[in-house]
Structure 1
Amino acid sequence: MSLPFNFTFVPWFRSVAPYIHKFRNQTFVVGVCGEAIAAGKLPNLAQDLALIQSMGVKIVLVHGFRPQVNEQLKAKNHSPKYFKGIRITDEVSLDCAQEAAGQLRYEIEAAFSQGLPNTPMAGATVRVISGNFLTARPVGIVDGVDFQHSGVVRKIDTAGIMRSLDMGALVLMSPFGFSPTGEAFNLAMEEVATSVATALQADKLIFVTEVPGIATDITLPVSEDNPIDTELPLDSAEKMLLELPEANQPGDTAFYLQHCVKACKGGVERSHIIPYAVDGSILLEVYVHDGIGTMVVDEKLESLREASVDDVGGILQLIEPFEKDGTLVKRSRTEIERDVGLYTVIEHDGVIFACAALYTYPEARTAELAALTVSPDVQGQGDGDRVLKRIEQRAKLAGLDSIFVLTTRTMHWFIKRGFVQVDPDWLPDARKRKYNWDRKSQVLVKNIL
């Protein structure tokens, strides 16, 4: 093993450790579209999910089968029919759906049963449990269209799923449900995954899809100039849905986004849209800081918000130990009360666990990120990243091009998050006049365009 590899592997592995600790014993519901399986992505997906499960995550896997059912229909010279994005399931379509579901279940179980030496599955023991964990009811007749054997979720057997997860199994669910009378219904993978995640109050709902995520400008396709918005607050996602046309096809921007919003409103803290085209996309989304797709997050659950005058005492209590050891410049209560509207905080049960302030310099189109502090009780759990993300969003909304920070001890934390070191002469004139040359703070800048 070469020495340069050590220098890259060790810091990377250490950077992943906080996420491994954080997600242990959490529950992820993963919805994989049938297109991903048709594209030959199942072996790598199985390897990645087995790896995640080995790190203590409980996984419910819901598979789609849209292209597989259409292939079966084509073989029988029968055309697929949809209305408002929902399949009209006649008798022939129901037979095809049952055949496709059976075949996919076999392929998925086989993928998780591999254990060849020198592969990521070597030594893995993944027990896959599937069954009638949900009951369904018919969609019925909508706008004069009879959906026949198409159904929607009626009830999730939460207790049964949790017993299986607690036994260490991976729970596999097909987009099929049965009524109390035993009648079979074809359901949408997206609805099943959302319903299961909500019923379990899962920590994450992850859609592995045909789309790369939600673009920053929803009116234009994803490109270098219009990248993926890696984090969407729930209220922003809801507003976005109001601006988008009705989603009838999986490629429509709102198709998966509407389910992410529904899940977050139902109590799921985070919902993700990631591309199956990128190898290892689940690992990149879960264990890398910026992820690779779009995450919709209900910030109310984390109480990530702008500060008010009632938070002054909590902010002072949080930053005081760091002022005493010289990590932060001392700020008076009067100063914090005056600037409290510039602060962003994370609060839980009345306690401030993280904070940061944003001081703008509009003439230079930049702003200073100041007093970024995370309580030692929760360090390593991502609160610093969440506050930084909100500060970046506030700076963007103010029309600024960059943010900068002055630090004496946390340079590497900021460099890992896209900041670069510059000479103090870079500072805006108004800030340069207040620069403490005796403290010798390092100046780091991040472009946010």
Structure 2
Amino acid sequence: MNLVFPHTFVPWFRSVAPYIHAYHGKTFVVGMAGELIAAGKLSAFAQDLSILHAMGIKLVVVHGFRPQVNEQLLAKGHPSRFSHGQRITDAVALDCAQEAAGQLRFEIEAAFSQGLPNTPMANATVRVVSGNFLTARPVGIVDGVDFIHSGVVRKVDSGTIRRAIDIGALVLLSPFGFSPTGEAFNLAMEDVATATAIALQADKLLFITEVAGIHEQLDDPDSAIDTELALADAKRLLATLPSPTQPTDIAFYLQHCVKACEGGVERSHILPFGVDGALLMEVFTHDGIGTMVVDEKLESLREASSDDVGGVLQLIEPFERDGTLVKRDRTEIERDIALYTVIEHDGIIFGCAALYPYPEARTAEMAALTISPQVQSQGDGERILKRIEQRARALGLESIFVLTTRTMHWFIKRGFQNVDPEWLPDARKRKYNWDRRSQVLVKKLG
């Protein structure tokens, strides 16, 4: 037995707990590219989805089948035809699409039925529900091109889907819709997933695709992935890109993410199926792995409220335990919570500090400045410091001070100066712990 394992597992498991709490009962729509299944990654992906399901996340999965239909057409000696980034579905292509969809639904349901011991699916119970939840209309003729049996989503039966996921089922949608007269239309997976996410007002839309996301340098595939795009920035980027003709084009999935966010889905994601566990990494880590488009920047710097007491306690507790911070009990934090400033990202607090004013001395103490190890060195400490300085100026104070035993250099680099503890206001000096021998640093406010 590896005795080190508990020391790595326990901190990791605790670090993902806030996401488990935050997403329990939320609704995710997952668009799964057919290329994922063709690459042999269905089993592992179903296991990851089952973990989300077990954590109380309500799931709607939309599968694609582009490569599977192409394979069927090739076997029949019939060409695959596309225009405007969408398949032209003639009678033969429609027949191939129906065959591919039936086979894939069988494979997907089988993947969710596995339960071998010592696998993530052991003891899992995932009931898959499918049905005629989509009403469609024909694409028609576009720029002289007749798309024949290709369609677009006209209506999503969100009420029935919602009832199914509310009782614990996973809803599986194939990219097919039907007209009121019973005519079948071949739909794009991306269109189905986007329309479904909007109809359900889902909390997340996640595309699991053959692309890694949006690179920070669009012309350099080796550049870093832009992990978060504000909706306004994503729309500006789209305006500069040519219309997509294939899924690997930058604008192909981005256009659907933008449409979803404009339709009320706060977060939409582009993730690479080529990275094992990409879905789990995106959902349960701070920065994720792909690109997330958000209706607004998820990170907010604000004054704390009573709802933040638990988050503040969870953030500072490890630093109290190792002696970096003086221990504060819950009663004290509840009493003083209005004095705290916090940085919140996606509903989770990653930084905080409190401002205790001493008006008679025209100064204030900044206490409990804490940044989560997950986001250190990203500038959040400076952002909190600036907000604390603004709060102090608004109170008409001339300086702020801190007491620290380990982070003197960080404060000195930001304009603080070391002073004798005798400098402290009388009320604070009476509470000074001479045994702890904290350094006192002061910054004058201009």
* TM-score of the superposed pair, with normalisation by structure 1: 0.74
1:280 Cα deviation after fit: 0.8
SS across alignment from 2:117: coil
1:317 to 1:172, Cα distance in 2 relative to 1, 3 A: closer
Q: CA 1:440–1:204 in structure 2 vs 1: closer, same or farther (change >3 Å)? A: farther
Question: What amino acid sits opposite 2:249 in the alignment?
Answer: D
Q: C-alpha offsets along residues 405-449 of structure 1, whole Å, 9 cap, x if unaligned?
A: x986455x432224399974466766144789885489xxxxxxx
- 1:77-156 mapped onto 2 (5 Å cutoff): 77-156=77-156
Aligned partner (choices 280, 287, 292) of residue 289 of structure 2: 292
The answer as to whether partners of 1:153 and 1:195 remain within 8 angstroms in 2 is yes
Cα pair 2:301 2:342 within 8 Å, conserved: no
Following TM superposition, by how much is the alpha carbon of 1:175 offset from its aligned partner in structure 2, in angstroms? 0.4
CA distance in 2: counterparts of 1:386 and 1:246, whole angstroms: 41
Task: Select between 242-251 and 55-64 the one with higher mean Cα deviation.
Answer: 242-251
Whether 1:373 and 2:331 are equivalent positions in the alignment is no
**Are residues 38 and 440 of structure 1, via their aligned partners in 2, closer, same or farther at CA, if it must alter by over 3 Å?**
farther
Q: Distance in 2 between matches of 1:37 and 1:429?
A: 53
> Judging changes above 3 Å, is the alpha-carbon distance between structure 1 residues 2 and 372 closer, same or farther for their aligned structure 2 residues?
farther
Find the structure with the greater CA-based Rg: 2
- C-alpha distance after superposition, 1:186-206 (max 9, x if no partner): 000000000000000000000
* Residue 389 of structure 2 corresponds to residue 431 of structure 1: no
Query: What's the offset of the Cα at 1:290?
Result: 1.2
Structure 1: how far apart are the matches of 2:175 and 2:418? 62
Question: Is 1:12 aligned to residue 12 of structure 2?
Answer: yes
Distance 1:44 1:429, change over 3 A: closer
Q: Which of 372, 391, 395 is 1:414 aligned to?
A: 372
Secondary structure, aligned partner of 2:7: helix
Distance 1:168 1:49 in 2: 13
One-letter code aligned to 1:159? G
In structure 1, runs of 5+ residues without a counterpart are: 308-314, 329-353, 357-370, 388-405, 443-449
1:118–1:251 Cα change, 3 Å: same
Q: What secondary structure is seen at the aligned counterpart in 1 of 2:372?
A: helix
Residues 1:384 and 2:349 are matched in the alignment: yes
Alignment of 1:9-408 (within 5 A): 9-221=9-221, 223=222, 226-299=223-296, 315=303, 372-373=341-342, 382-385=347-350
Residue identity over aligned pairs, in percent, reads 59
What is the CA distance between 1:161 and its match in structure 2? 0.4
Calculate the TM-score normalised by the size of structure 2.
Answer: 0.74
| Conserved? CA contact 1:18–1:380, under 8 Å | no
Is the Cα contact below 8 Å between 1:407 and 1:441 reproduced in 2? no
Q: Report the secondary structure of 2:375's partner residue.
A: coil
Shift in Å at residue 218 of structure 1?
Answer: 2.1
Provide the C-alpha distance between the structure 1 equivalents of 2:440 and 2:77, rounded to a whole number of angstroms.
72
Q: CA deviation at 1:10?
A: 0.2
Distance across 1 between alignment mates of 2:112 and 2:203:
23
Task: Return the alpha-carbon distance in structure 2 between the equivalents of residues 251 and 118 of structure 1.
Answer: 36
| C-alpha distance 434-142 of structure 1, shift in aligned 2 (>3 A) | farther
CA deviation after TM superposition for structure 1 residue 50, in Å:
0.7
The C-alpha deviation readout for 1:352-382, integer Å capped at 9, x for no partner, is: xx999xxxxxxxxxxxxxx7525xxxx8963
Paired letter, 2:156: I
Listed one character per residue, the Cα deviations across residues 93-151 of structure 1 (whole Å, up to 9, x for unaligned) are 00000000000000000000111111111111111000100110000000010000000
1:169-190 Cα distance to aligned partner (Å, 9 max, x none): 1000000011011101000000
Query: CA offsets per residue over residues 264-316 of structure 1, 9 Å max, x none?
Result: 0100010010000011111010011111111111118x7x6789xxxxxxx49
Secondary structure of the equivalent of 1:299? coil
Indicate conservation of the 8 Å contact 2:82/2:88, yes or no: yes
Contact 1:372 1:384 in 2 (8 A): no
> Is the partner of 1:99 in helix, strand or coil?
helix
In structure 2, relative to structure 1, the CA distance for the partners of 1:435 and 1:153 (3 Å cut) is farther
Counterpart residue number, 1:348: none
Unpaired stretches in structure 2, ≥5 consecutive residues: 317-336, 353-364, 382-405, 422-436, 442-446
Change (3 A) 1:179 1:16: same
Aligned with 1:102: secondary structure? helix
Query: SS of 1:197's equivalent?
Result: helix
